[in-house]
């Protein structure tokens, strides 16, 4: 069942944007001492599979099938990884537990709500994608409803941080359903514009800080590098699609922060997944990672993906040691991969603006 067509086709278009070149951001290695002016007690999460901790219904996605979750929590739990995902590491930084999944909201005791809630659904985007699941606008509607229903109080929201993940499902749909090279720049602009509308809405609902991930180096994903037997990143995808998205996002967020004119602390923070993925992929041994571009879990042929079982026969293989792999499947990092990315984010002081 091709529930996630992006497992099969993550084809990115060559974009001839004149003069558009990727310039690696300078590494900010200053270390500020941050002070908790107010404790952050909750994390609210929006977006896709890089952040989803179990919102898709059981049985409806590979994230609920073996061998997903084999490292953590030891069985499939709805995460698109062998273990933890971005949300879990951000929660770790904030010293809160991973927030509860929206899916099980009706079964949660009040104490389960104390870490916030995740509204992220794997496969989704800011617009409609090839996959079912609520787009980010709808996810924010769920959040708004939870506030109206007093699931979270105004004081809860004031002490919270939001994480917004946009990892590219909108672009996969664009590539499959339209594919016009001429139309891509304006589509990228509309994705970034919609992302900005979304984060403004989240802020207006009372959240103090919104962390927005930029696009990871899509050209390094195994779905793309399979054609080079996982030997090298496709720089065309990285330099054009990803660089343009990330440049627009950074510009828009900078402008937004300036407009709010609160110099005490920046309400919107871009989380540089591009730099952190690239840094780990360029220096894998620093993180005890081997064969950095090879996915740990793969289908036995292009017909199958990680987790495929046909008539009780496994149609996939898992590497010997997921803890030394960066990629888990064709598009998602392993637990160790996310840990390495998190380590890099901490080294570059990416979270210095989180506290307020
Ligand atoms: C990189 O991706 C583009 C667009 O999908 C493709 O046309 C090109 O052949 C790829 N390059 C390599 C080296 O695989
Ligand atoms: C999000 O999904 C809803 C419900 O399907 C739809 O009405 C709305 O237009 C979508 N929003 C965007 C920005 O695509
Ligand atoms: C597809 O691309 C063309 C060319 O830019 C554009 O006019 C059209 O609106 C696009 N269609 C969709 C569905 O995005
Ligand atoms: C995106 O926003 C910018 C600035 O607000 C605007 O000029 C542009 O027309 C918008 N583009 C799209 C495609 O929505
Ligand atoms: C921002 O900084 C300027 C100059 O230091 C100061 O005059 C202004 O009051 C500050 N604004 C806020 C909202 O703190």
DSSP-assigned letter for residue 218: G
pTM of the model: 0.88
pLDDT tens per residue across span 252-302? 999 999 998 766 679 999 999 999 999 999 999 999 999 999 999 999 998
Distance 88 CA to ligand 1 centre (A): 33
The predicted structure's pLDDT at residue 263: 63
CATH number at residue 264: 3.40.50
Out of 13, 125, 178, mutate this one to test ligand 3's pocket (max ligand atoms within 8 Å of CB): namely 178
Work out the pLDDT band at 184, boundaries 50, 70, 90. Answer: very high
Of 9-18, 30-39, 41-50, 117-126, minimum mean pLDDT range:
9-18
Distance 19 CA to ligand 5 centre (A): 37
The predicted structure's pLDDT at residue 17: 29
Q: How many domains does the chain have?
A: 1
Determine, yes or no, domain membership for 215: yes
The predicted structure's pLDDT at residue 264: 65
Q: Is 80 in the pocket of ligand 1 (CB under 6 A)?
A: no
Mean pLDDT of the chain: 89
pLDDT tens per residue across span 193-239? 999 999 999 999 999 999 999 999 999 999 999 999 999 999 998 99
Distance 183 CA to ligand 3 centre (A): 6
Task: Say which residue the tokens 């929006």 belong to.
Answer: 46
DSSP-assigned letter for residue 160: E
Containing domain of residue 76, as a range?
Answer: 10-293+337-355
Which ligand is the nearest neighbour of the Cα of 190?
A: 4
The predicted structure's pLDDT at residue 22: 28
Work out the pLDDT band at 23, boundaries 50, 70, 90. Answer: very low
Q: Is 16 a catalytic residue?
A: no
Which ligand is the nearest neighbour of the Cα of 218?
A: 1
Determine, yes or no, domain membership for 36: yes
Spatial distance between the Cα atoms of 121 and 126, rounded to a whole number of angstroms: 11
Determine, yes or no, domain membership for 188: yes
How far is residue 5 from each of residues 33, 40, 53, 129, 302, measured CA to CA in Å?
Answer: 44, 37, 20, 10, 12
Determine, yes or no, domain membership for 2: no
Q: Left if phi > 0, otherwise alpha if psi is -120 to 50, otherwise beta: which for 168?
A: left
Q: Is 194 in the pocket of ligand 2 (CB under 6 A)?
A: yes
Determine, yes or no, domain membership for 269: yes
Which ligand is the nearest neighbour of the Cα of 258?
A: 5
pLDDT tens per residue across span 54-95? 999 988 799 999 999 999 999 999 999 999 999 999 999 999
Q: Is 332 a catalytic residue?
A: yes
Q: Considering only CA atoms, which residue is closest to atom 1 of ligand 5? A: 263
Out of 261, 263, 265, 267, mutate this one to test ligand 5's pocket (max ligand atoms within 8 Å of CB): namely 263
Q: Is 329 a catalytic residue?
A: yes
What is the helix, strand, coil percentage profile of the chain, to 5? 40, 10, 50
């Amino acid at each position: 069942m091709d529930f996630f067509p992006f497992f099969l086709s993550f084809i990115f278009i060559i974009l001839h944007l004149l003069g558009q070149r990727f310039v690696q951001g300078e590494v900010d290695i200053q270390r500020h001492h941050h002070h908790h002016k107010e404790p952050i007690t909750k994390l609210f999460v929006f977006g896709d599979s890089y952040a989803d901790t179990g919102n898709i219904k059981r049985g409806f996605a590979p994230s609920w099938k073996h061998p997903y979750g084999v490292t953590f929590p030891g069985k499939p739990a709805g995460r698109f990884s062998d273990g933890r995902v971005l949300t879990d590491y951000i929660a770790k930084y904030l010293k809160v537990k991973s927030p509860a999944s929206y899916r099980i909201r009706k079964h949660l005791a009040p104490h389960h709500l104390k870490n916030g809630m995740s509204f992220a659904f794997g496969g989704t985007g800011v617009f409609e994608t090839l996959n079912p699941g609520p787009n980010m606008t709808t996810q924010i509607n769920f959040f708004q409803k939870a506030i109206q229903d007093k699931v979270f109080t105004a004081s809860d929201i004031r002490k919270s941080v939001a994480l917004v993940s946009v990892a590219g499902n909108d672009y996969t749909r664009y590539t499959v359903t339209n594919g016009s090279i001429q139309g891509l720049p304006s589509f990228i602009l509309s994705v970034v514009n919609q992302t900005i509308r979304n984060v403004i809405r989240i802020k207006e609902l009372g959240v103090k800080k919104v962390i927005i991930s930029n696009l990871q180096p899509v050209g390094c994903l195994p779905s793309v590098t399979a054609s080079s037997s996982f030997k090298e990143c496709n720089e065309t995808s990285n330099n054009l699609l990803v660089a343009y998205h990330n440049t627009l996002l950074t510009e828009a967020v900078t402008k937004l922060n300036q407009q709010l004119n609160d110099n005490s602390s920046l309400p919107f923070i871009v989380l540089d997944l591009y730099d952190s993925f690239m840094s780990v992929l360029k220096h894998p041994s620093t993180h005890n990672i081997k064969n950095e571009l090879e996915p740990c879990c793969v289908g036995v042929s292009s017909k199958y993906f990680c987790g495929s079982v046909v008539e009780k026969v496994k149609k996939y293989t898992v590497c010997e040691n997921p803890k030394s792999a960066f990629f888990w499947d064709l598009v998602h990092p392993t637990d160790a991969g996310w840990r390495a990315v998190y380590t890099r984010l901490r080294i570059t002081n990416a979270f210095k603006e989180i506290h307020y």
